[in-house]
Amino acid sequence: MNTQRLSFWQIWNMSFGFFGIQFGWGLQMANMSAIYQYLGADEGAIPLLWLAAPITGLVVQPIIGYYSDRTWTGLGRRRPYFLVGAILASLSLIAMPNSSSLWMAAGLLWILDASVNVSMEPFRAFVGDLLPREQRKSGFAMQSLLIGLGAVLSSSLPWVLSNVFGVSSGNAENQTIPLTVHISFYIGSALFFLAVLYTILTTKEYPPEDMDAFLKQKEASKGLGNAFREIYEGILSMPRAMRQLAVSQFFTWFGLFCMWIYFAPAVATEIFGGTPGSPEYQKGVEWSGVCFSTYNLTAFFFAFALLALVRKRSAKSIHSVCLVCGAAGLVSVFVINNPQLLLLSMVGVGIAWASILSMPYAILSNAIPGNKMGFYMGVFNFFIVLPQILASLALGKVVTNLFNSNSMLAILLGGLSLLVAAFTLKFVQEDTAPQTPA
């Protein structure tokens, strides 16, 4: 574990892979619901088709975190996982827009999300490995900045291709999914791989301080049986701050999943008045991508403010205010009929998103031992994916039966959930744990 302060550009280099990872996530978030509807899914089925993201995260992240804590190769500790995940995710991004059926797209999403998680999970632990404690808030804020940049470009890319470069936004010949989506996913595939490769080539990892002890620990815990036993015991003994953050994380990510699943259909049907396959619907989907780009652009710029704020305010207080901004943004979508005004709503969501991507991890990284950084970052993902699984299983029935298929009400529900998340943060006590050498 490094204890020396790193420069701005060193932190930039170690975080740059997140630009590519988020480019892939951004394409998925802005386009998958529409892709499913192009292939014949109705609104009630969409949440179930999104189950891939939370379930693969639930399974993959703690396992990858556990094994990356116990890995040391010529390429380092976390970087082998970056590389393997990037290769698999890039191939999945190429295949996705060529899906010929609904279940082919759903299957590819499982592969894509598993691959992205293999790359993404070790990036969180990377900050804890390479930065001293006093720089970790800055490290996660830098990740937030690059995540915002990647998501801005990816979310708006189909709209840019259609409206700036004149690429047809209608269906290409013999293709169900529009050509703009095809090209966007191909570009995303290349950028995902190249951004992760840049971090691999520019950032050095440090070997364990006591290699003999590290090898003994690795030998004693090898095998899946030991892995699952230690994962189970680690969950039961998770730090206090982590348990308290779980409640806020649950409501935060439930609210976000409401938005990701239903924002594009809500805008396309309730504001643009379209139906799947109609020109109005496609325009609404493209505009929702611009809205997603706006909240990500806001997150990008607000990340600079976070870099300054973390020097003066606690991560908890910053995060509370930012979640309230996000709640206000989503609630306002419910009462807006002018597509242009949606961009103002997305500013509030963007402020929250920048904080969601950084402040909880800043609180957590100083409360867990260094030799379990990867593992606990993976376990922390439970409180992200469990609410998403709940949303995937229940939200479709709620929208269909309780909301009378009005997807805009799901956006309102998401805003209220963010407000509850902000309230529950008052019960989180920021604390620290001994930083056991890695």
> pLDDT class for 222, splitting at 50, 70, 90?
low
pLDDT digits (tens, 9 = 90+) for 233-268: 777 777 787 888 889 999 999 999 899 888 988 998
Structure tokens at 43: 């609104």
Q: Does position 328 have pLDDT exceeding 70, yes or no?
A: yes
Average of per-residue pLDDT across 36-46? 81
Q: Does position 48 have pLDDT exceeding 90, yes or no?
A: no
Q: Does position 188 have pLDDT exceeding 90, yes or no?
A: yes
Q: What is the pTM of this model?
A: 0.72
Q: Does position 128 have pLDDT exceeding 70, yes or no?
A: yes
317: CB partners within 8 A, 6+ apart = none
Q: Does position 370 have pLDDT exceeding 70, yes or no?
A: no
Give domain 8-427's CATH superfamily. MFS general substrate transporter like domains (1.20.1250.20)
- pLDDT of 172 reads 41
Average of per-residue pLDDT across 19-34? 87
- pLDDT of 431 reads 56
Most confident of 7-11, 174-178, 212-216, 271-275: 7-11
> pLDDT class for 20, splitting at 50, 70, 90?
very high
What is the average pLDDT value for the chain, to the nearest integer? 83
pLDDT digits (tens, 9 = 90+) for 68-86: 888 888 888 889 999 999 9
Q: Does position 304 have pLDDT exceeding 70, yes or no?
A: yes
Please indicate whether residue 111 or residue 224 has the higher confidence score (pLDDT). 111
Q: How many CA atoms lie within 13 A of 218 on its CB side?
A: 15
- pLDDT of 92 reads 95
User: How far lies 401's CA from each of 26, 67, 369, in Å?
Assistant: 30, 43, 46
Give the lowest-confidence range in 328-332, 400-404, 416-420: 400-404
Give the lowest-confidence range in 9-18, 104-113, 311-320: 311-320
> pLDDT class for 220, splitting at 50, 70, 90?
low
Q: Does position 164 have pLDDT exceeding 70, yes or no?
A: yes
> pLDDT class for 344, splitting at 50, 70, 90?
very high
- Other Cβ atoms less than 10 A from the Cβ of 74: the count is 6
Q: Does position 148 have pLDDT exceeding 80, yes or no?
A: no
> pLDDT class for 199, splitting at 50, 70, 90?
very high
Tell me which residue of 166, 245, 274, 198 sits closest to 9, measured CA to CA.
198
Average of per-residue pLDDT across 48-55? 78
pLDDT digits (tens, 9 = 90+) for 391-407: 878 888 888 888 888 88
Question: What ranges do the domains of the chain cover?
Answer: 8-427
Give the separation between CA 438 and CA 433, rounded to whole angstroms. 14
Give the separation between CA 119 and CA 200, rounded to whole angstroms. 11
User: How far lies 302's CA from each of 14, 42, 248, 297, 305, in Å?
Assistant: 20, 36, 21, 8, 5
List beta partners, residue 76: 73
What's the distance, CA 368 to chain centroid?
Answer: 22
